Structure 1
Amino acid sequence: MTISLPATAAALSVVLAALCLLVVPAAGFYLPGVAPNDFEKKDHLPVKVNKLTSIKTQLPYSFYSLPFCKPDTIVDSAENLGEVLRGDRIENSPYVFEMRVPQMCQIVCKISVGEKEGKVLKEKIEDEYRVNMILDNLPLVVPIQRVDQEGAYFYQHGFHVGAKGQYSGSKDEKYFIHNHLSFTVKYHRDAQRDVSRIVAFEVKPYSVKHEYGQWNDKKTHLTTCDPNAKRIITSSDSPQEVEAGKDIVFTYDVDFKESDIKWASRWDSYLLMTDDQIHWFSIVNSLMIVLFLSGMVAMIMLRTLYRDISKYNQLETQEEAQEETGWKLVHGDVFRPPANSDWLCVYVGTGVQFFGMMLVTMVFAVLGFLSPSNRGGLMTAMLLLWVFMGLLAGYSSSRLYKLFKGSEWKNIALRTAFTFPGSVFTVFFFLNILIWGQKSSGAVPFTTMFALVLLWFGISVPLVFVGSYLGFKKPAIEDPVKTNKIPRQVPEQAWYMNSIFSILIGGILPFGAVFIELFFILTSIWLHQFYYIFGFLFLVFLILIVTCAEISIVLCYFQLCSEDYLWWWRSYLTSGSSALYLFLYATFYFYTKLEITKFVSAILYFGYMLIASYAFFALTGTIGFYACLMFTRLIYSSVKIE
């Protein structure tokens, strides 16, 4: 019994649809109608701990990699694929509150600091690591008074492990640990049902050298802390120094405050940390570029092209046609397949795959189906969409390959399925080895790595082959004009029409349309801030599409007017060269905004930014290529060719 490939593809689609239903809920998609958690008085509120993070090293570590208080049994929370790739490690903690029941000076535990523990603590304090905690899915923040606005605050994610400074007149710098945490839990109360919903989780960390008589576990009476008087000595006169051979007592307070903030708006303070005026300036800046390019395209289409087409169609003799110069003279060579056409098909297919992934992700994000409350959801969704968009990648690469009169569609499908993912996976695997060597929790486990390979080989590769088969099965796209057997000689070009010069110039405007928004994206990634302004990002993405298309059309028209018909690769590289400026800007951002000093951290930064620039190259290059392809087919189908 034989089974046709289309039938297999249909069966595979059913399997993938079922897989989506199983995987997408774990992928972190957020449905706006999910009910909040309702707590009655004295309900237990377990606090969870997440990774330790630092903007100086970019290497996350597990909370319990430091000598902190531990619960009787450490339980790891179930994590989705995106959380694992982000380095999240969510575990339970000994901090447990009771809803709307304030507590003062609660002893958590006492830790004896040895040589090894002291060294590790000092290293983490030196690298400015922050402790991240979670309560009811809200991350812990430290409110900091804004200097420019009275009564306004901005929020730092997590609190520092400790601080470094001088003490008691000593000139030597010492290390102090934040061993007392003063929590504030804000809640919105439903008076009719007498239930509460948590809307904020804040903390103020202190370093306190606790004094006590005889140690009696959590019942010990601390002379530095008097719960009955409802006060704790948090003065810097008695901070807890990190020193081998000394004990550290960890304590906490928790206070509950009723708030007018509603549960649906509790993430606003986390997400609205940037000034919207800057984003509007970014949009206006991008729109100015688009208007400039649109004016040039309009001038070409409405004036120059209209005049040229009218004039060419009025030529009566072949002698008159030979006397003409310009883009019509290369009609016999303009659709000649370029050199290395196979690789052009591969990269166009990869760009289509990226375009589909970005478009669907942004649409879902703008509609509110992706939320930072689902940690790792955005990354998981993008990864799954990339895998499923392999169908479009194979289809578009084989369609272009057949346009170039190719016959080995399986070879193109194989290259499309492995070229970009293979190179990215190689860099990612190398970077993961570096992270693993630093014993960081950011290292992707081999089980997760195997799952990524399974997604690649088990779903993406078959989908690329199915798409290639379907694309190659369709009739080839007919060229609007015939191609001469003997290629025409390209005349010597002016310096400003040199391929390298025009390619580098072409990438400036697409990059200029996005570089302001790029600053916020880099800040959210490398300075550990939330980014959820997808409305602005979607507008910038649309502007990027228009800009890439228009700059490619303009430069392609100038190239054809110079009787240079080698436009295929140049149209891809013209807009794709914006990736070069993206990487250069990332280098500028590294030296001006980041404080990374360790070599491994620098390698990680430039490795990941190289992957991002490579993806940006495929995306923008494909947009410019398709714009030029449609443009050339339009103009050459509008003239009479004898």
Structure 2
Amino acid sequence: MRNFAATALAVVLAASSTLSPVSAFYLPGSAPHDYKKGDKVDVFVNSLSPMLNATLKSLISLDYYDERFHFCRPEGEPVKQPESLGSILFGDRILSSPFNIKMLENQTCVPLCKSSVPQLDAVFINARIRENYGLNFIIDGLPSSEQKRDTKTGETFLDAQGFSLGDATKDVHHPELNNHYDIYIQYHKRGTEHFRVVGVMVYPRSVDSIVKSETTPNCFVNAPYKLSDSQTNEFYYTYTVEFIESDIPWGLRWDSYLHVFDPKIHWFSLINSLVIVGFLTFMVAMILYRTMSKDIHRYNAVDLAEDVQEDYGWKLVHGEVFRAPDRPMLLSVMVGNGAQLICMVSVTLVFALFGFLSPSSRGSLATVLLVCWTLMSGIAGYVSARVFTTLGGETWKPNLILTATLFPIVTFTIIGMLNLFLVFAKASGAMPFGTILAILLLWFLLSLPLAVAGYFLGMKHGGFSHPVRVNSIPRQIPPIPWYLQPVPAAIIGGILPFGAAFVELYFVLSSLFGNRAYYAFGFLFLTFLVVTLTTATVSILFVYFILCAEEYRWQWRAFLVGGGSAFWMFVYGVWYWASRLSFGNFPSVVLYFGYLFLFSLLNFLLGGSIGYISTYFAIRRLYHSIRVD
């Protein structure tokens, strides 16, 4: 216990140091760009995405140059910018723009173009304004933002959620279109001739800037502009640029963006979870240790030479506890894929915790997740082979095929069906054919061979030896209480792991579905450790109760109890949809519940593997401690 406490304290101190506001360990994704006065500052545009204000009203991202928006286009065709695989998967579509901005040259009321919007497209744009769609500009790798103040901490930060397409709060039936952009670019001076961009803020306004008998727009008119759905609309898109000197160095320019909302709630949730899991682990360890020690001492004290030996409780099923369960092949496949997910999440969180996933590299988190999942396929094959052999499986070829293909096919099928909805909705988040082909090649050329290699390595090592023999004839199983039945036990056992993570889950869902970046990886890493320990402890405790009730079919119960938090995760997702989301279109509802089901499935496999692996070694150690005639 002393070593455990010291280790836990070291982990907490290390995590708290990574969560400090000073970015002492910063790994940028690109080299700094030095500008001279008069150099062009490129402005790139990204896809439009719904913003999470009071509620989220859509999940469909739209291309900036969708013909229905009639935004100003550069001369010729917009130039597509290179993006990472993760950036494409998250819906980024970065293109060039007609903005003409030069370093340290302030500009006022510069016209981009005169746009003409017909009636039907005006209806489309007004509907997107009501759904709180936001625009996303990118300047020197920095996303457009608005400076805001956290009402709970009093800190000022740059909210990189984008800026609104328009405003429907004053008149929901006739919303205002934001057709003017006030752009503020913060720069840091290096020497006398070189300057670096360290901050980008964009504040949109609605201005009816067309003045009769004049050929130039007037951006200082107080009247807002509203699109009419009964006639063709003509108006100007304009912008103003102002450069502001800043003492923030280039290496710390992301600090203003990396804002953790409600840090006290994160800490309260984490400390509460640590107290719960610490108390639970201590109590379970003491109960099991005292009970098992007495049982083991009593069983071992019996003289085996005597004719009568009384067995009861978990000792009574020693000849059945390692009997092969129903559907051992499916169980081994699920445990193997779950072990792959455990390694994938662990490695990704370590990379994120130590700052390797820089926010300046867009989509780096999704890219690392995909790469780690591919490279960890060998873990899936290895674990599946050893579990299948331990369970007495002999038909290894079907097991190998299912391990390498079942879970990827299910995942790709779900994502492919959701991608069809994105295609039909003309969403920018729909994966292009080239991306789909790249993922399939990654799976076929790397994931499959690694899974096969890991499987053969697992077969070479063989299964684990059982400390007791299995009886040739299975014994009768007495009736057990309802709460130890598979489904109730899974639901009850999943409460504690979910309770340790539900606060952090709220912020993850808000980030994932609300187009808001998530940076609290220190909290997430510690939460993952707490959930892992809680899942293992609860699974062992329930299986001990099951064995004491003389029910020896524990394998699937250990997996179900370990994955029981997935049920509560899905229920929480339904509650989040009912309370925080207000989708006005059917594709968004399908996308939300499709992704929610996929995340719950991943959680089920991950938690189930933790429950099964920890329970197996606990039971193996338990029955190794007693003498059996």
Report the counterpart of residue 9 of structure 1 in structure 2: none
| Structure 2 residue corresponding to 1:143, chosen from 119, 136, 147 | 147
Cα pair 2:486 2:560 within 8 Å, conserved: no
3-state secondary structure, aligned to 2:582 = coil
Cα pair 1:180 1:205 within 8 Å, conserved: yes
1:239 counterpart = 2:225? yes
Report the counterpart of residue 114 of structure 1 in structure 2: 118
C-alpha separation between the residues in 1 aligned to 2:445 and 2:232?
A: 54
Moved >6 Å (runs of 4+): 318-321
Question: Given the two structures, how large is their TM-score scaled by the length of structure 1?
Answer: 0.89
Cα pair 2:160 2:257 within 8 Å, conserved: no
Cα pair 1:175 1:242 within 8 Å, conserved: no
Report the counterpart of residue 161 of structure 1 in structure 2: 165
Cα pair 2:494 2:562 within 8 Å, conserved: yes
How far off its partner does 1:142 sit?
2.3
Q: Which runs of 5+ in 1 are unaligned?
A: 1-29, 226-231
3-state secondary structure, aligned to 1:196 = strand
The structure-2 alpha-carbon separation of the partners of 1:133 and 1:242, relative to structure 1 and needing over 3 Å to count, comes to farther
Report the counterpart of residue 354 of structure 1 in structure 2: 341
Report the counterpart of residue 173 of structure 2 in structure 1: 173
Amino acid at match of 1:508: I
1:69 counterpart = 2:60? no
Report the counterpart of residue 338 of structure 1 in structure 2: 325
Cα pair 2:122 2:227 within 8 Å, conserved: no
Q: Which runs of 5+ in 2 are unaligned?
A: 1-25, 51-55
Cα pair 1:553 1:631 within 8 Å, conserved: yes
| Structure 1 residue corresponding to 2:135, chosen from 127, 131, 138 | 131
C-alpha separation between the residues in 1 aligned to 2:463 and 2:538?
A: 28
How far off its partner does 1:62 sit?
0.8
How far off its partner does 1:346 sit?
0.4
C-alpha separation between the residues in 1 aligned to 2:462 and 2:263?
A: 49
How far off its partner does 1:469 sit?
1.1
| Structure 2 residue corresponding to 1:97, chosen from 98, 101, 104 | 101
Report the counterpart of residue 209 of structure 1 in structure 2: 208
Amino acid at match of 2:97: S
Report the counterpart of residue 561 of structure 1 in structure 2: 548
Cα pair 1:552 1:571 within 8 Å, conserved: yes
How far off its partner does 1:238 sit?
4.5
C-alpha separation between the residues in 2 aligned to 1:165 and 1:257?
A: 31
C-alpha separation between the residues in 2 aligned to 1:98 and 1:240?
A: 31
How far off its partner does 1:595 sit?
2.1
The structure-2 alpha-carbon separation of the partners of 1:357 and 1:485, relative to structure 1 and needing over 3 Å to count, comes to same
How far off its partner does 1:81 sit?
1.3
Matches within 5 A, 1:158-557: 158-164=162-168, 173-190=173-190, 192-212=191-211, 220-222=215-217, 224-225=218-219, 232-233=220-221, 235=222, 237-242=223-228, 244-317=231-304, 322-557=309-544
The structure-2 alpha-carbon separation of the partners of 1:320 and 1:552, relative to structure 1 and needing over 3 Å to count, comes to farther
How far off its partner does 1:368 sit?
0.9
| Structure 2 residue corresponding to 1:78, chosen from 82, 85, 88 | 82
How far off its partner does 1:149 sit?
6.9
How far off its partner does 1:516 sit?
0.7
Moved more, 513-522 or 72-81: 72-81
Report the counterpart of residue 45 of structure 2 in structure 1: 49
Moved more, 411-420 or 140-149: 140-149
Amino acid at match of 1:46: D
Moved more, 193-202 or 248-257: 193-202
Report the counterpart of residue 3 of structure 1 in structure 2: none
Cα pair 2:382 2:456 within 8 Å, conserved: yes
Moved more, 314-323 or 68-77: 314-323
Cα pair 1:165 1:174 within 8 Å, conserved: no
C-alpha separation between the residues in 2 aligned to 1:334 and 1:254?
A: 73
Amino acid at match of 1:331: H
> Could you give the per-residue CA deviations for residues 92-142 of structure 1, whole angstroms, max 9, x where no partner exists?
001121111111111111112223432332232232211111001111112
Amino acid at match of 1:209: D
> Could you give the per-residue CA deviations for residues 3-26 of structure 1, whole angstroms, max 9, x where no partner exists?
xxxxxxxxxxxxxxxxxxxxxxxx
Amino acid at match of 1:239: Y
How far off its partner does 1:384 sit?
1.4
3-state secondary structure, aligned to 2:361 = coil
C-alpha separation between the residues in 1 aligned to 2:513 and 2:355?
A: 24
Amino acid at match of 2:176: F
Amino acid at match of 1:459: L
Amino acid at match of 1:123: A
1:616 counterpart = 2:616? no
Moved more, 438-447 or 617-626: 438-447
Cα pair 2:563 2:607 within 8 Å, conserved: yes
How far off its partner does 1:34 sit?
5.2
The structure-2 alpha-carbon separation of the partners of 1:150 and 1:432, relative to structure 1 and needing over 3 Å to count, comes to closer
C-alpha separation between the residues in 1 aligned to 2:446 and 2:186?
A: 45
Report the counterpart of residue 14 of structure 2 in structure 1: none
How far off its partner does 1:343 sit?
0.6
Cα pair 1:144 1:156 within 8 Å, conserved: no
> Could you give the per-residue CA deviations for residues 199-238 of structure 1, whole angstroms, max 9, x where no partner exists?
11111111111134556xxxx444x34xxxxxx33x2x34
How far off its partner does 1:561 sit?
1.4
Matches within 5 A, 1:554-593: 554-593=541-580
| Structure 2 residue corresponding to 1:39, chosen from 35, 38, 46 | 35
Report the counterpart of residue 88 of structure 1 in structure 2: 92
Cα pair 2:181 2:205 within 8 Å, conserved: yes
Question: Given the two structures, how large is their TM-score scaled by the length of structure 2?
Answer: 0.91
Cα pair 1:166 1:173 within 8 Å, conserved: no
Amino acid at match of 1:177: L
How far off its partner does 1:174 sit?
1.8
C-alpha separation between the residues in 1 aligned to 2:249 and 2:311?
A: 72
C-alpha separation between the residues in 1 aligned to 2:351 and 2:185?
A: 31
> Could you give the per-residue CA deviations for residues 234-257 of structure 1, whole angstroms, max 9, x where no partner exists?
x2x343544532311111111111
How far off its partner does 1:146 sit?
5.4
The structure-2 alpha-carbon separation of the partners of 1:639 and 1:321, relative to structure 1 and needing over 3 Å to count, comes to farther
The structure-2 alpha-carbon separation of the partners of 1:461 and 1:258, relative to structure 1 and needing over 3 Å to count, comes to same
How far off its partner does 1:437 sit?
0.6
C-alpha separation between the residues in 2 aligned to 1:579 and 1:320?
A: 49
C-alpha separation between the residues in 2 aligned to 1:313 and 1:461?
A: 48
3-state secondary structure, aligned to 1:108 = strand
Amino acid at match of 1:70: R
3-state secondary structure, aligned to 2:136 = strand
Cα pair 1:176 1:242 within 8 Å, conserved: no
3-state secondary structure, aligned to 2:243 = strand
Amino acid at match of 2:472: K
Moved more, 289-298 or 506-515: 289-298
The structure-2 alpha-carbon separation of the partners of 1:499 and 1:38, relative to structure 1 and needing over 3 Å to count, comes to same
Amino acid at match of 1:503: A
Moved more, 311-320 or 271-280: 311-320
Amino acid at match of 2:90: R
C-alpha separation between the residues in 1 aligned to 2:29 and 2:595?
A: 35
Moved more, 495-504 or 358-367: 495-504
C-alpha separation between the residues in 1 aligned to 2:354 and 2:233?
A: 54
How far off its partner does 1:393 sit?
0.3
C-alpha separation between the residues in 2 aligned to 1:131 and 1:33?
A: 23
How far off its partner does 1:144 sit?
4.0
Amino acid at match of 2:330: W
Cα pair 2:180 2:204 within 8 Å, conserved: yes
Report the counterpart of residue 59 of structure 2 in structure 1: 58
C-alpha separation between the residues in 2 aligned to 1:346 and 1:114?
A: 56
Amino acid at match of 1:39: Y
Moved more, 403-412 or 42-51: 403-412
